[in-house]
Structure 1
Amino acid sequence: MTDMTSPQPAPDAKPGLTRHLPLLTILVVAVIGYFTLRDYITFDTLRDNRELLLGWRDSNYALVALSFVGIYVLIVAFSLPGAAVASVTGGFLFGLAAGTGLNVLAATIGATAIFLAARWGLGASLTARLEASEGTIKRLKDGLRENEISVLLLLRLVPAVPFFVANLLPALVGVKFRNFVWTTALGIIPGGLVFTWIGVGLGEVFDRGESPDLSLLWEPHIIGPLLGLSALAALPMVIKAVRGKPGV
């Protein structure tokens, strides 16, 4: 007869490890990609293959557009080097309107993949701890929940926030999935427009024997509107804070 009182294996041990595999895979591929791809996904590579790429685009626009989105999704999802090159390439191959649309679509899908990988693994346990927390942690958690939309938009609009941080942090603190997706798609449009616009004029830059100057992003006429949008996103939080003060 089987001893029903004997210790049984912990049923959640293997599933718990399995939950972390997607995020671990992303981290491993990101490290490998950093050392193996950073010298290949460059503007020099784009310059050397410009005629080939333009020929492919002209002969099969839909297939090239689909391939571009797929490659861009992989770059973002695995945090591989070359996201800026990919964004500029979108403008170079497809123009401002279509290029911006494809760039935003691909970046949003890639960001969502990272979000889900982190949420499924580390994010699930961390969110559970935050839900059970008290004191300062609880106040921070409640503040985030009350201002979730504004915080998510700020993460996208403030140029100083790395893209992978804006993908991982929301997953780890338990923001709503639908809010993450739509704020990502909306929040990356301004920056996406700038990168795509640079790509539209890339042919002329190559003809002069130069490389695109991404420092343009920090010019006053570019950074000013982005900071203005950031201030607008933060405005609801400021209003709530002011209204919450006694006597206001």
Structure 2
Amino acid sequence: MNRKVTRLALFLVLAAAIVLAILYRDRFNAAALEQWVGGAGAAAPLLFMLIYAVATVLFLPGSMLTLAGGALFGPVMGTFVNLTGATLGALLAFLVSRHLAADWVEQKTAGRLGQLKAGVEQEGWRFVAFVRLVPLFPFNLLNYALGLTRIRLLHYLVATYLCMLPGALAYTWLGYAGREALAGGEGLIQKGLMALALLAVVAFLPRIIARLRQGPTLGIAELHNRLQGDQPPLLLDVRSEADYRGELGHIAGSRNIPLEALESRLAELGDFLEQPVALICTTDRRSKQAARILAGQGFADVHVVVGGMTAWRQAALPVQIATSSPGRPVEA
């Protein structure tokens, strides 16, 4: 009973603090931050890290803090201070979430939601690393969400710190370059170009990670065996609806989402974020495009079927062909 009361009290305090932070967030700006930290002397880095950690827990904007850290402490110390403050905040939010609601979520998750949670837990530090390198979800919200899983605390902490480094470095340098530009410092062109180069690297990371997260290709025979197994992959046919129902037919149990509509219909595939997905088309050209889209959106186990439906038919494997008359498709 006491534990429930403690949790409720902590939740109410946290909720009230978040509401107040949101209501007065206009007062939380770079000028105010510089004023607070400026009088702290040698303790300024520690104070800044504490402010960053609390701001992360209270859903205050981290981008402004990171830019301010670069302006106040320079590119090297600023990166360390920003990264450490953000990681401490992420750790606090993770622990608060785990203490408040993890047991309740464990009891309530079942079915597809439970499968998604299990998939995230199975990926462990790899999932944390991916979402830190490729910010698909809001940083502050993600910290709380990951606390509801059984990902190991040490794995979460190390993956968060290391994989946020590229973004922290880029935005810290940008804040430093902006401060130098306002002050009229030397080497402005070089510093500006360095900031742009770092931002370009961070912007290009999703494509690099997407390629790394694409699983190996699947041959026709291997796909057929997997579809007969106890845990078949989602077979996603990315042809147009006309081709899906056309003369090549389609594989029983496949789901048809045309490549052109894939990005707008990703919500339909949310249950398979951490499950194997096999992509098939007429050949494999459009399947590769679909694989890049899914991997870039966080799907962990994406495979392209080599040769597509053309190779499937050449192997004389069974297909379903839609008929113009009502009723079940004809199997060929």
TM-score by length of 1: 0.72
In structure 2, do the counterparts of structure 1 residues 138 and 144 end up closer, same or farther at CA, with 3 Å as the change threshold?
A: same
Match of 1:142?
118
Measured after TM superposition, the shift of residue 232 of structure 1 is 6.0
1:185 aligned residue (161, 171, 189): 161
Indicate conservation of the 8 Å contact 2:133/2:206, yes or no.
yes
AA in 2 matched with 1:123: A
**How far apart are residue 169 of structure 1 and its match?**
1.1
Match of 1:106 among 47, 62, 85: 85
* CA deviation after TM superposition for structure 1 residue 205, in Å: 4.0
Give the structure 1 partner of residue 152 of structure 2. 176
Q: Which runs of 5+ in 2 are unaligned?
A: 185-195, 227-332
Compute the displacement of 1:25 (Å). 2.4
Q: 1:146 to 1:222 in 2, by over 3 A?
A: closer
Which of 11, 17, 22 pairs up with 2:5? 17
Aligned with residue 120 of structure 1, among 99, 106, 113: 99
Deviations 1:83-131 (A, max 9, x none): 222111111122112111111111111111111111001122112434x
SS of match in other structure, 1:190: helix
Structure 1 66/137 Cα, relative in aligned 2: closer, same or farther at 3 Å?
Answer: closer
Tell me if 1:167 matches 2:121.
Answer: no
CA distance in 2, matches of 1:30, 1:201: 32
Letter in 2 for 1:141: K
Instruction: Pick one of 26, 44, 58 that aligns with 1:78.
Output: 58
Amino acid at match of 2:22: Y
Alpha-carbon separation, structure 1, partners of 2:66 and 2:163:
15
Computing the radius of gyration over CA atoms, which structure comes out larger, 1 or 2?
2
Q: Is the 8 A contact 1:115 1:167 kept in 2?
A: yes
TM-score scaled by length of structure 2: 0.55
Q: Does the Cα contact within 8 Å between 1:99 and 1:196 map onto a contact in 2?
A: yes
Contact 1:116–1:171 (CA<8 Å) still a contact in 2? yes
> Is the CA contact 2:30–2:64 (under 8 Å) kept in the aligned structure 1?
yes
Question: Within 2, Cα distance between the matches of 1:31 and 1:227?
Answer: 33
TM-superposition CA deviations, 1:194-215 (whole Å, max 9, x none): 210111112244358xxxxxxx
Bigger helix share: 1
Tell me if the contact between 1:70 and 1:106 (Cα under 8 Å) persists in the aligned partners: yes
CA contact (8 A) 2:90 2:143 kept: yes
Aligned length: 214
- What is the deviation of 1:185? 0.9
**Is the CA contact (8 Å cut-off) linking 2:121 and 2:149 kept in structure 1?**
no
Match of 1:173, SS?
Answer: coil
C-alpha separation between the residues in 1 aligned to 2:82 and 2:213? 25
Alpha-carbon contact 1:155-1:161 (below 8 Å) kept: yes
1:32 aligns with 2:32: no
Q: Residues of 2 paired with 1:246 and 1:181: CA distance? A: 40
- The sequence identity of aligned pairs, in percent, is 24
Asked whether the 8 Å contact 2:83–2:164 carries over to 1, the reply is yes
Say which of 202, 227, 242 aligns to 2:206: 227
The whole-number CA distance in structure 1 between the counterparts of 2:74 and 2:31 is: 20
Cα-to-partner distance string for 1:1-33 (whole Å, 9 max, x where unaligned): xxxxxxxxxxx3x42131243343223211111
Greater relative CO (CA pairs within 8 A, separation 6+): 1
Structure 1 gaps of 5+ residues are: 1-11, 209-215
When you count strand as a share of all residues, which structure comes out higher? 2
How far does residue 44 in structure 1 lie from its aligned partner after superposition? Answer: 5.2
Measured against aligned partners, the alpha-carbon deviations of 1:178-205 in whole angstroms (never above 9, x if no partner) come to 2211111122111111210111112244
Q: 1:206 corresponds to which residue?
A: 182
CA shift, 1:220, in A, is: 5.1
- Corresponding residue of 2:319: none
| CA 123–138 in structure 1, closer or farther in 2 if over 3 Å, else same | closer
Q: 1: CA distance between counterparts of 2:155 and 2:48? A: 26
Name the CA shift for 1:84/1:115 in 2 (closer, same or farther; >3 Å): same
Asked if structure 1 preserves the Cα contact closer than 8 Å seen for 2:125 and 2:151, the reply is no
Partners of 2:213 and 2:14 in 1: CA distance: 31
Q: Which residue of 2 aligns with 1:65?
A: 45
